[in-house]
Structure 1
Amino acid sequence: MTVCDLNGNLKFNILGPDWEKNKDNRKEYFSPTGVVVAKNYIIAAYLNEAGIIMDKQQRPRGNSPSKLMVFDINGNYIQTIETGHKFIRFCVDEENNRIIAYFNDRLNPLGYFKLNL
């Protein structure tokens, strides 16, 4: 993940674990599902798996994350949140201090959980 200032100048990069071992670029770390800046935190959908997987009929499908990684505004790691379900999108409800997500592996896809920061 590349973080720049508002003028486009590089501030820093955040790399996933074992990033240098990902020679074939099959593993995605910070998912295109989303990155949100809320309050003084950077919250990023975190996959750490192959971005394309095969379904039961051996057809290629996009993979979805089940984790969020939280960093402070300077890119320092704070915590990893495991949601227990794969999600497609998420947003932060700052007023109620929670994350709202659309899960793609649950009967009721819309859900939320408290953000304890």
Structure 2
Amino acid sequence: MDENLKKESSSEIYKIYYGDCKLYLVPYIPKDAHEPVCYFLKIFDYQRGYLLFTLKISAYIMENYLKKILSEIPCGNVAYRECQKLAARKKIAFVSQLDVKENGKYINVEGSLRDSRMLFIE
């Protein structure tokens, strides 16, 4: 699935992703703010450890709907390698539009969670 994600292009069409992976949550707090304005759920391949996908979650959705679901997932601002090591293995299913960005030799696939009902973690 990971290679297929990287071959996709940005799209207005919603895609479904599901599978075993490792998850780590990164809060985004702007310089002038005291609370996170959004969170980035880093989704890693559980066998090889590389980043598959990043899912952006608004602070509103996180606080009101997903706090209980995501309470078992490590959270913090740490280096990429540390995220990989600390990430918790879970089963995940979500629906999102894709935004594929190329950064030199790396291809980053990102999505945005629009509704709490579009995410399931077990």
Same fold (TM over 0.5): no
The structure, 1 or 2, with the larger RCO (C-alpha pairs under 8 Å, 6+ apart) is 2
Question: Per residue, is there more strand in 1 or in 2?
Answer: 1
Asked which structure has the greater CA Rg, the reply is: 1
- After TM superposition, the score normalised by the length of structure 2 is 0.29
Question: Per residue, is there more helix in 1 or in 2?
Answer: 2
